[in-house]
Amino acid sequence: MNNFNDSSTNRVLVVDDDALLIGEYVRCLSEDYEPESATSTLSDLEKVLFGEETDERGAAKFEVHSRNQGGAAVEAVAQAIKDGKHFAIVFLDIRMPPGIDGIEAAKQIRLLDQNVNIVLVTGSMSPEPENLGREIPPADKIFFFKKPFHALECRQLAAALCGKWHADRALRKANEDLERHVEERTAALQKLAYFDPVTRLPNQWLLLEELKAIIERSEDSDGDSVAILIDIDRFSFINETMGYDAGTELLRSIGNRLSRKFCDEGKYKRTIVGRFGADEFAVLVPGVDGDAEVTALAEEVRKTVESPFLINGRDLFLKAAIGVAWHPVHGRDEKSVFRCAEAALHRSIRSIDMAVTYYHNEMRYRARHKFDLEAELRAAIENGQIRPHYQPQQSTTTGQVEGVEALARWIRPDGSVVPPSDFVPLSEEMGISDVLFQSVMRSVCADVANWRESIDWAIPVAVNVSAHQLRNRDLVKLIKGILQSEKVDRTLINLELTETVLLEDLTTAQPVLNDLAAYGVGIHIDDFGTGYSSLSYLAQLPVQTLKIDQSFIAKLSDKNADTRVVEAIIALGKAMQLELVAEGVETEQQYGIVRRLGCDLVQGYFVARPMPAHQLLNWTQGFEDTQSLKKKSGVIELDSQRS
């Protein structure tokens, strides 16, 4: 309950040059006022307005102040505001010679106080009430009162207007509270939208805004605005092996350390540190002076991230890839600077020692090239320009082609061919790798069905699958749908996954692989030996085939070929009863070695290059004729032909 009954909150200013009238106001608004008649009506009203807190007779209490001139009244209102003791009502006589009249005083009072109720009191002509509302707005806070008035009338009016003043104030307060609440909620939502919840650092969106602000400020100051992007190497592996909580703690520690190092101390206090992506951070530094300083900064960032982190009681040594670009040299706005820094970062990720990479113009070509490619790729998938080529896999024991690998090619209308290394990662970045996979899968199934129908050839085909597909819980359903609609036997389809893809998120991949295997689709591990060499996972997965990575096969061409790694992989595969394929076999010598070591199948340019579906049929025909001729004439027991 508010304190309406507290006289200090029911402050009334009466202004009249007639001292007698002022006495009358004071009398009728005083606590001791004894109305001669209609007492019950008045106290009923006051009770309604002022609640239980009226005095024992139910009368409201007023604090009455008086002035005898308009100017003095304005001053009194100003002082009251200063003291924080606003008037609820000002009764203003209209004519108060020699000073300003009541109307002028009302205008000046209104300028000072928007909420006070002003009552103009006149004995003669009555001012037009509508005009008053327009001249001294708001219209609901200006009143007209005729004198001489009855004391009871005056008290009744004062009680009603004080009640209104309190109600208005409560409403304003409620509105202000609501506005504050809305502002707080908006700020909280903005925080969610602009800050990463794990590290509490600015996210990618805010980083863009921050770089924009830094660039704008830099227009009138010296120095470059530098964006340094950092990618934590093997972060998903840390997550996988040490647990999600440890991964989260590590991200927080990296963020904290970078902020402490660059935002809290030293020369670059205006630096912004943020989380740019899952395992990527950004450091934005304004006012950097020259190349030497940029280099020193980037090295400082590397040192900061690569000093050991204590996680779960263990020292963790990280490696970071770092890409750097800056305004105004590499881009005129925040987006182009970030794009350049990203291009440099990707170059750094791909480099062997993850050297700090500074953006240069050749990457600009790639960045723009990528941009154009994105739009083209979407259309290419829709228009069926992505086609599988097939590379045969030859048995080292029978000499027969016992399988093929489908390798996607983007064949442009002008006949030029884009390799999968250009568009598969792009499709993943664009989030359309599932669409690409479906398109390749459909083409493969159509080709398999066609071979079956036309020459009754049932050849198993291996299709490459990327990490994104393994996160799709409906992968089995999707494959089932395609196989059924193309009427293809499920045992003819194998999926190839690289070791790194599998290990990236084994917990997600495992159930999907189990479902696929249960359905009857084969699982092959591609590029085996280049991953993180956690062999224990092999035993847990429904795998049939290991494809030995080309890099090991390439080494077999040295004069003193070191065969030990390949030998070990083959021994491991055999022990686990897996089929072994040697990839990238280019020479007769390599072919001979892998065959001697007991590898089951060989794939590589020595046997044949990948080729379109229609060529594969001709090639196979020719290949088999040659094989049988050779066998018949006893020249070479097993050999192969180059396409």
With CB cut-offs between 5 and 8 Å by kind, which of Mg ion, ligand C2E, none does residue 604 bind? ligand C2E
SS3 per-residue string spanning 117-130: EEEEEECCCCCCHH
Smallest gap from residue 548 Cβ to Mg ion (A)? 9
Cα(270)–Cα(613) distance, integer angstroms: 60
Which two tokens mark 237?
């592996």
Report yes or no: 561 and 593 within 8 Å, Cβ to Cβ: yes
Stretch that binds ligand C2E, among 201-209, 269-277, 487-495, 603-611 (CB under 6 A): 603-611
Q: Which residues pair with 394 in a beta bridge?
A: 401, 602
Site of tokens 């076999």: 585
Which two tokens mark 51?
């609640």
Stretch that binds ligand C2E, among 73-81, 238-246, 323-331, 583-591 (CB under 6 A): 583-591
Residue 407 binding ligand C2E, by CB under 6 A: yes
Q: Which residues pair with 459 in a beta bridge?
A: none
Residue 464 binding Mg ion, by CB under 5 A: yes
Smallest gap from residue 608 Cβ to ligand C2E (A)? 9
By beta-carbon proximity to ligand C2E, the closer residue of 259 and 396 is: 396
Smallest gap from residue 389 Cβ to ligand C2E (A)? 7
Q: Distance between terminal CA atoms of the chain? A: 95
Per rule CB under 6 A, count of chain residues that contact ligand C2E: 22
If residue 231 lies in a helix (H) or strand (E), which one and from where to where? strand 224-232
Residue 286 binding ligand C2E, by CB under 6 A: no
Helix and strand totals (H; E) in the chain? 23, 21
The pattern of x and - marking residues 563 through 602 that bind Mg ion according to CB under 5 A reads: --------------------x-------------------
By beta-carbon proximity to ligand C2E, the closer residue of 532 and 605 is: 605
Stretch that binds ligand C2E, among 22-30, 290-298, 332-340, 582-590 (CB under 6 A): 582-590
Stretch that binds ligand C2E, among 16-24, 334-342, 357-365, 414-422 (CB under 6 A): 414-422
Please pick, from the candidates 440, 476, 503, 582, the single residue that binds ligand C2E as defined by CB under 6 A.
440
The pattern of x and - marking residues 522 through 541 that bind ligand C2E according to CB under 6 A reads: ----xx--------------
Angle at 466 between CA 460 and CA 468, to 5 degrees: 135
Residue 499 binding Mg ion, by CB under 5 A: no
Residue 527 binding Mg ion, by CB under 5 A: yes
Report yes or no: 307 and 323 within 8 Å, Cβ to Cβ: no
Stretch that binds ligand C2E, among 37-45, 102-110, 416-424, 528-536 (CB under 6 A): 416-424
If residue 67 lies in a helix (H) or strand (E), which one and from where to where? strand 63-67
Smallest gap from residue 498 Cβ to Mg ion (A)? 7
**Residues from 545 through 574 that contact ligand C2E (CB under 6 A):** 550
Other beta carbons within 10 Å of 525: 25
Please pick, from the candidates 102, 286, 287, 604, the single residue that binds ligand C2E as defined by CB under 6 A.
604
By beta-carbon proximity to ligand C2E, the closer residue of 280 and 583 is: 583
Which two tokens mark 365?
């070509």
Dihedral (CA of 633, 634, 636, 639) sign: positive
Report yes or no: 211 and 338 within 8 Å, Cβ to Cβ: yes
Residue 214 binding ligand C2E, by CB under 6 A: no
Q: Which residues pair with 602 in a beta bridge?
A: 394, 582
If phi > 0 it is left, if psi is from -120 to 50 it is alpha, else beta; for residue 319 that is beta
By beta-carbon proximity to ligand C2E, the closer residue of 116 and 426 is: 426
Residue 421 binding ligand C2E, by CB under 6 A: yes
By beta-carbon proximity to ligand C2E, the closer residue of 55 and 382 is: 382
Please pick, from the candidates 18, 63, 486, 586, the single residue that binds ligand C2E as defined by CB under 6 A.
586
- Which amino acid type is present at position 304? T
Stretch that binds ligand C2E, among 122-130, 211-219, 337-345, 584-592 (CB under 6 A): 584-592
Report yes or no: 385 and 411 within 8 Å, Cβ to Cβ: yes
By beta-carbon proximity to ligand C2E, the closer residue of 117 and 603 is: 603
With CB cut-offs between 5 and 8 Å by kind, which of ligand C2E, Mg ion, none does residue 605 bind? ligand C2E
Residue 446 binding ligand C2E, by CB under 6 A: no
Cα(233)–Cα(236) distance, integer angstroms: 8
| C-beta contacts of 187-196 below 8 A and 24+ residues apart | 196/274, 196/275
By DSSP bridging, strand 320-327 and strand 417-418 are: unpaired
Residue 46 binding Mg ion, by CB under 5 A: no
Stretch that binds Mg ion, among 292-300, 389-397, 511-519, 522-530 (CB under 5 A): 522-530
Report yes or no: 118 and 90 within 8 Å, Cβ to Cβ: yes
Report yes or no: 386 and 440 within 8 Å, Cβ to Cβ: yes
Stretch that binds Mg ion, among 338-346, 459-467, 611-619, 620-628 (CB under 5 A): 459-467
**Residues from 405 through 424 that contact Mg ion (CB under 5 A):** none
Beta-carbon contacts of residue 594 (< 8 Å; ≥ 6 apart): 396, 548, 553, 556, 566, 582, 585, 602
Stretch that binds ligand C2E, among 51-59, 110-118, 352-360, 577-585 (CB under 6 A): 577-585
Site of tokens 């009398």: 27
Cα(84)–Cα(171) distance, integer angstroms: 19
Stretch that binds Mg ion, among 17-25, 55-63, 311-319, 495-503 (CB under 5 A): 495-503
Residue 496 binding Mg ion, by CB under 5 A: yes
- C-alpha count within 13 angstroms, C-beta hemisphere, residue 235: 19
Smallest gap from residue 529 Cβ to Mg ion (A)? 10
| Rg (alpha carbons) of the chain, rounded to whole number | 42
Please give the full DSSP string across 552-600, using - where no structure is assigned: HHHHTTSTT---HHHHHHHHHHHHTT-EEEE----SHHHHHHHHHHT-S
Smallest gap from residue 517 Cβ to ligand C2E (A)? 19
Please pick, from the candidates 419, 481, 511, 520, the single residue that binds ligand C2E as defined by CB under 6 A.
419
Site of tokens 């480099």: 351
Please pick, from the candidates 5, 199, 203, 466, the single residue that binds ligand C2E as defined by CB under 6 A.
466
Beta-carbon contacts of residue 75 (< 8 Å; ≥ 6 apart): none
Smallest gap from residue 455 Cβ to ligand C2E (A)? 25
Which two tokens mark 243?
């647990």
Residue 424 binding ligand C2E, by CB under 6 A: yes
**Residues from 355 through 394 that contact ligand C2E (CB under 6 A):** 391
Q: Which residues bind Mg ion (CB under 5 A)?
A: 464, 496, 526-527, 583
Q: Which residues bind ligand C2E (CB under 6 A)?
A: 391, 407-408, 419-421, 424, 440, 464-466, 496, 526-527, 550, 583-586, 604-605, 610
